[in-house]
Structure 1
Amino acid sequence: MGPRAVHMKGHTWHGRPPHAPCPQWPYCRKRCSYCNFNTYVVPAVDEAAVRACLVREAQTLLRLSQVHSVTSVFFGGGTPSLASPGTVAAVLEAVAGAAHLPAGAEVTLEANPSSTSASALDGFRAAGVNRLSIGVQSLDDTELRMLGREHTAAEARKAVEAARGLFPGRTSIDLLFGLPGQSRDAWAQRLEATLRLCDDHISLYQLTLERGTALAAQVRGGALPAPPQDLLADMYQTARNVLVAAGFRHYEVSNFARKGALSTHNLSYWRAEQYIGVGPGAHGRFVLRAEGGCSREARVQTLEPVAWMREVQSQGHGTRSRAVLSPLEQLEELLTLGLRMDEGITHERWGHFSPQLSLQAVFGEPGEARALQQEGWLVLDSGGLRCPWAGLAVLDSLLPDLLWQLQRQDPEE
Structure 2
Amino acid sequence: MSLAAALAVVRRRLLGFVQFRALSEVTCREIRSSPGDDDRATYPPHSEEASLYVHWPYCLRRCSYCNFNKYISRAVNHNAMDACLQRELETLLRVSQVSRINSVFFGGGTPSLAPPSTIAAVLETVAKHAALQGDAEVTLEVNPTPIGMAKLADFLHAGVNRFSIGVQALNDEDLRVLGRDHNSQHALHTVDEARQLCPGRVSVDVIFGRPGQTLACWEKELEELLLVCDDHVSLYQLTLERGTQLFKQVQAGQLSMPGDDVIAGMYESARRILQERGFLQYEVSNFARKGAVSSHNLGYWRAGQYLGVGPGAHGRFVPQGEGRLCREARTQTLEPDVWMREVQRWGHGTRRRVELSHTELLEEVLVMGLRMTEGISHQHWRQFSPRAELQQVLGESAEVLELQERACSS
Deviation, structure 1 residue 373? 1.1
Aligned to 2:388: 357
Matched, 1:283 2:293: no
Aligned to 2:26: none
Deviation, structure 1 residue 119? 4.1
Deviation, structure 1 residue 355? 1.4
Q: Which amino acid counterpart does residue 282 of structure 1 have in structure 2?
A: A
CA distance in 1: counterparts of 2:45 and 2:373, whole angstroms: 27
Matched, 1:171 2:202: yes
Give the 3-state SS of the residue equivalent to 1:71 in structure 2. Answer: strand
Asked whether the 8 Å contact 1:116–1:159 carries over to 2, the reply is no
Q: Which amino acid counterpart does residue 183 of structure 1 have in structure 2?
A: T
Aligned to 2:115: 84
Matches within 5 A, 1:14-413: 14-114=45-145, 117-376=148-407
Deviation, structure 1 residue 183? 0.1
Q: Which amino acid counterpart does residue 71 of structure 1 have in structure 2?
A: N
Deviations 1:307-344 (A, max 9, x none): 10011000110000101100111111111111000011
Deviation, structure 1 residue 377? 6.0
Provide structure 1 residue ranges, at least 5 long, that are not aligned to the other structure. Answer: 1-11, 379-389, 391-413
Same amino acid, percent of matched pairs: 57
Give the 3-state SS of the residue equivalent to 2:50 in structure 1. Answer: coil
Deviations 1:244-302 (A, max 9, x none): 11110100000000100000000000111000110111110000011111110000000
CA distance in 2: counterparts of 1:225 and 1:118, whole angstroms: 33
CA distance in 2: counterparts of 1:230 and 1:97, whole angstroms: 52
> Which protein has greater RCO, CA pairs closer than 8 Å, 6+ apart?
2
TM-score by length of 1: 0.87
Give the 3-state SS of the residue equivalent to 1:105 in structure 2. Answer: strand
CA distance in 1: counterparts of 2:287 and 2:192, whole angstroms: 19
Aligned to 1:6: none
CA distance in 1: counterparts of 2:287 and 2:204, whole angstroms: 10
Deviation, structure 1 residue 362? 1.3
TM-score by length of 2: 0.88
Deviations 1:217-258 (A, max 9, x none): 111111111211111101100000100111101000000001
Q: Which amino acid counterpart does residue 170 of structure 2 have in structure 1?
A: L
Number of positions where the alignment pairs a residue of Structure 1 with one of Structure 2: 368
Moved more, 16-25 or 266-275: 16-25
CA distance in 2: counterparts of 1:369 and 1:95, whole angstroms: 43
Q: Residues 14, 115 of structure 1: CA spacing in aligned structure 2 closer, same or farther, 3 A cutoff?
A: farther
Give the 3-state SS of the residue equivalent to 1:104 in structure 2. Answer: strand
Give the 3-state SS of the residue equivalent to 1:355 in structure 2. Answer: coil
Q: Which amino acid counterpart does residue 335 of structure 2 have in structure 1?
A: E
Moved more, 16-25 or 300-309: 16-25
Q: Which amino acid counterpart does residue 33 of structure 1 have in structure 2?
A: S
CA distance in 1: counterparts of 2:69 and 2:115, whole angstroms: 20
Deviations 1:198-220 (A, max 9, x none): 00000000000111111111111
Give the 3-state SS of the residue equivalent to 2:72 in structure 1. Answer: coil
Q: Which amino acid counterpart does residue 174 of structure 1 have in structure 2?
A: D
What is the root-mean-square deviation of aligned Cα atoms in Å?
A: 1.3
CA distance in 2: counterparts of 1:377 and 1:340, whole angstroms: 18
Asked whether the 8 Å contact 2:48–2:97 carries over to 1, the reply is no
Q: Which amino acid counterpart does residue 349 of structure 1 have in structure 2?
A: H
Moved more, 354-363 or 147-156: 354-363
Deviation, structure 1 residue 358? 1.1
Bigger radius of gyration, 1 or 2?
2
